[in-house]
Amino acid sequence: MIIADSVVENGKRHWGRFLRTPANANPVDEYTGVRRAFERFRTKEWAGFTLTHREFFSSMIIQDAKYLVSSDWYLFDAASGQLFQHAASKPAGSVSLPTNIMASRIVFEAKGYRISYTFGPKTAVVEIAIAASDNAPKVEGRLELDVEHAAPPLVVSAKLPKGSMYTNKIIFPASGTLRVGEREYVFDPSVDFAILDEHKSHLPYRTSWTWGTFALPVAGEYAGANFAVRPQLPDQQEESCIWTPQAAEPLADISFSPSSSDPMAEWKIKSADGRLDVVFTPLGRKGVNQQLVLAEVRYFQMFGTYRGRLRGESETWEFDGVHGVCEEMKMRS
């Protein structure tokens, strides 16, 4: 386990799992001159949240692909079955994501669309103000995330085939309100969470991944999991873990097995050691299919429920109906 304040120190990058989120997570610091500019342009960056709430499924993201900055938000109401989506984009360079997210303010603002994250030592605030569109209602919200009682972070720096990855993932208890049209949702920090997903990754021209996450309350604290499969070098850490109240315990060798070719089929997801053994039941999905001359994106994220078992180092949890997401990306860019 790495204990360091920076991903790169003295021109040398750390590879592996970090005990805590580093204060400087700029992976291009190991380069200078023209190479630094190239690596910076090839580094895809994003910061988003998966919201785990009793009544809905939702996520949001601010992402810098270097040739374009974009943001999107969605919410699926579990009772009504309604899916609402908003998105916006801006020119390259209009938003810069920080190297120290835990002491930062990130704002994406376009006409009728504003999402911001403000991180402080005790509280992180997520604010949303999106005007109504032809397809989705007005959205307003302010969430306060409890930094002091957050889960231990999952922080991984890893070499990839023809690339590299840095990710920082944290579960935060969430309080506050979110209003979508006339419907108001109230967050209870004992059962509702926001899961941060920060990435700064130099992805190869062709890349793919399958990923999922969820969290559940356990006796005033929480457990959960983050799990992924992507092209990987055999000696590098994977971005998977079981969250316990004490640690983000390393997890590896994940398999995702859809039960059929039906887009809404259940998925069996497990680790080779059996510590993660769950079934994901989709309730809906959203996707992006874009094909350009030099770039292509085929992506979908499903939202639904998990049932099964997590086995931590000192405790096992069995559960059913836990809200979470699962996604697949195939990309060239």
Beta bridge partners of 163: 160
For 218-244, the DSSP string reads ETTEEEEEEEEE----TTS--SEEEE-
CA neighbours closer than 13 Å in the CB half-sphere of residue 198: 25
CB of 240 within 8 A of CB of 251? yes
What element of type H or E holds 187? Answer: strand 183-187
CA distance 94 to 60: 18
CA neighbours closer than 13 Å in the CB half-sphere of residue 10: 1
CA neighbours closer than 13 Å in the CB half-sphere of residue 164: 19
Task: Print pLDDT tens along the chain (333 aa).
Answer: 999 999 999 999 999 999 999 999 999 999 999 999 999 998 999 999 999 999 999 999 999 989 889 999 999 999 999 999 999 999 999 999 999 999 999 999 999 999 999 999 999 999 999 999 999 999 999 999 999 999 999 999 999 999 999 999 999 999 999 999 999 999 999 999 999 999 999 988 888 999 999 999 998 888 999 999 999 999 999 999 999 999 999 999 999 999 999 999 999 999 999 999 999 999 999 887 766 656 677 889 999 999 999 999 999 999 999 999 999 998 776
Burial of 312 (0-12, 13-18, 19+ CB in 10 A): middle
Listed by start position, the domains of the chain span 8-332
- Model's pTM, two decimal places? 0.95
Beta bridge partners of 324: 214, 304
